[in-house]
Amino acid sequence: MSEADFLRADSLYRKQPGHLTDTMQYRAAHAFKTNDVAKQEAFFKAYSEQKDVPVARFASYVLLHDLENPAAARRFGQLSEDAKRPAEQRARAGEAMAYIDAEQGRFRAAVERVRASTLPYKTRLYAELASTPLSVIPREQLEAMRKEVLATDSVPADSLPESQIRSYVRLYRAGVLSCRAADFTAATQFAQRLRTAQAPAYWKASLAQLADEIDAQVDVENNRPLEALRKLERHRTTLAADIGAPFSWGSSIPMWRAEALFRAQRYDEAAQWFDNLDEAIVSSAPHVAYILLRRAQIADARNESEKARDLYARFLKMWDKPDPELQPVVDQARNRLAALLER
């Protein structure tokens, strides 16, 4: 899959034991990779007719993430909203379509999809949608999401780790949302509460790491990238793995370190991070378009014109109709692409 060898992936997938939920996805991906329109339409018809086959993952991950084809991802993703599909599929459709919206710079629609869904983990999705440096979400939406996060029950229901860390997760998510709302005082306060929380000793290092991540986001947003780097570089890992897995955080620490390097104009170091950032992200936070844009801008700054042209064009394909407040980002990328094409 890392080399987009979809037929090989299909062969390996079919050899797995047990029930296979979607035996069409890799062959369908190959049809899109090779621009075989007839087969693309045949697979669309097959996905339309086979209601028991989930299509959301194929749409949001394979078509969008692997093939950078937002139009196809949206078309296939909408099949999951069919009232004749199982309830779980329809619920998952809200998540998949939200990420397609976010990857296309339509954060308003993404947030509304999640808020209107029946998914039981909305607050996780709120934090993921807001964790990217390019996430621009209206303040009223951010405040509503933060209110929901703070209203969640943080009392442990049992002795399981995912239950015991509820209160820390709530603080982390509230801190991320506060930062995107430019409520930096609140974000810093949530970070400090993470540091001073009454927690077992074996969780202290991870809580400090998450607190530093929030503070680093505040630093970057206030034009202090070197301060952000100082905070993030003192940690040996980029993931609070011991408590992060149940709640799917982990995207933001490497992402914000890369962003801080970019803002500090340390382009050689930033390029190393952005070239490998996709592999470091362990959540579904929107990042495909973001990485394309930053890699384009870094290549542009390093006078790598051919590379910059390709990356700008791929980014603009993703962000064809973003939210109005993000249009200046698109205009700047389009202008740089035009200038590079004239050389």
CA gap 212, 310 in Å, rounded? 35
Residues 291 and 169 in one domain: no
CB hemisphere CA count around 205 (13 angstroms): 10
The phi, psi pair for 225, rounded to 5°, reads -65, -35
Residues 176 and 61 in one domain: no
- Is the model's pLDDT at 138 over the cut of 50? yes
Query: Is-contact 80 56, C-beta < 8 A?
Result: yes
* 68 compared with 92, residue with greater pLDDT: 68
289-312: pLDDT as tens digits: 999 999 999 999 999 999 999 999
> Which among 140, 112, 134, 118 is positioned nearest to 126, based on CA atoms?
112
Count the helices and strands in the chain (H runs, E runs): 20, 0
Residue 161 tokens read as 């780790």
The residue written with tokens 């986001």 in the block is 217
Q: Is residue 273 part of a domain?
A: no
Residues 57 and 139 in one domain: no
Q: Is residue 295 part of a domain?
A: yes
Residues 238 and 297 in one domain: no
Residue 57 tokens read as 């993952």
Q: Is residue 278 part of a domain?
A: no
Query: Is-contact 135 107, C-beta < 8 A?
Result: yes
- Is the model's pLDDT at 43 over the cut of 80? yes
**Stretch 210-223: mean pLDDT:** 96
pTM listed for this prediction = 0.92
**Stretch 135-156: mean pLDDT:** 90
Q: Is residue 94 part of a domain?
A: yes
**Stretch 246-265: mean pLDDT:** 80
> Which among 326, 294, 284, 334 is positioned nearest to 104, based on CA atoms?
326
CA gap 88, 117 in Å, rounded? 11
Cβ contacts of 205 within 8 Å, gap of 6 or more: none
Q: Is residue 109 part of a domain?
A: no
Residues 156 and 214 in one domain: yes
Q: Is residue 98 part of a domain?
A: yes
Q: Is residue 30 part of a domain?
A: yes
- Is the model's pLDDT at 143 over the cut of 50? yes
Domain boundary among 72, 103, 134: 103
Q: Give residue 199's pLDDT.
A: 81
Q: Give residue 174's pLDDT.
A: 95
- Is the model's pLDDT at 1 over the cut of 50? no
Domain boundary among 103, 130, 146: 103
Q: Give residue 251's pLDDT.
A: 57
Q: Is residue 282 part of a domain?
A: no
Domain boundary among 228, 262, 296: 262
- Is the model's pLDDT at 246 over the cut of 50? no
- Is the model's pLDDT at 155 over the cut of 80? no
The total of other beta-carbon atoms located within 10 Å of residue 12's CB is 12
Q: Give residue 240's pLDDT.
A: 56
Residues 87 and 132 in one domain: no
Query: Is-contact 294 274, C-beta < 8 A?
Result: yes
The total of other beta-carbon atoms located within 10 Å of residue 329's CB is 17
- Is the model's pLDDT at 238 over the cut of 80? no
What is the overall mean pLDDT for the chain? 90
Q: Give residue 166's pLDDT.
A: 81
Query: Is-contact 315 296, C-beta < 8 A?
Result: yes
Residues 159 and 252 in one domain: yes
Residues 234 and 128 in one domain: yes
Structurally, how many domains does the chain consist of? Answer: 3
DSSP state of 197: -
Domain containing residue 136: 120-262
Which of the given ranges, 73-82, 123-132, 329-338, has the highest pLDDT on average?
329-338
Residues 2 and 36 in one domain: yes
Start-to-end Cα distance in the chain: 35
- Is the model's pLDDT at 210 over the cut of 80? yes
- Is the model's pLDDT at 122 over the cut of 50? yes
Q: Give residue 18's pLDDT.
A: 85
Residues 233 and 311 in one domain: no
Residues 14 and 74 in one domain: yes
**Stretch 99-119: mean pLDDT:** 94
Q: What is the H or E stretch that residue 91 is in?
A: helix 87-103
* 161 compared with 117, residue with greater pLDDT: 117
Residues 233 and 141 in one domain: yes
Q: Give residue 120's pLDDT.
A: 86
CA gap 335, 135 in Å, rounded? 21
Portion of the chain with pLDDT greater than 70, in percent = 91
Query: Is-contact 144 156, C-beta < 8 A?
Result: no
Q: Give residue 160's pLDDT.
A: 64
Dihedral sign (CA 78, 82, 88, 94): positive
CA gap 287, 258 in Å, rounded? 12
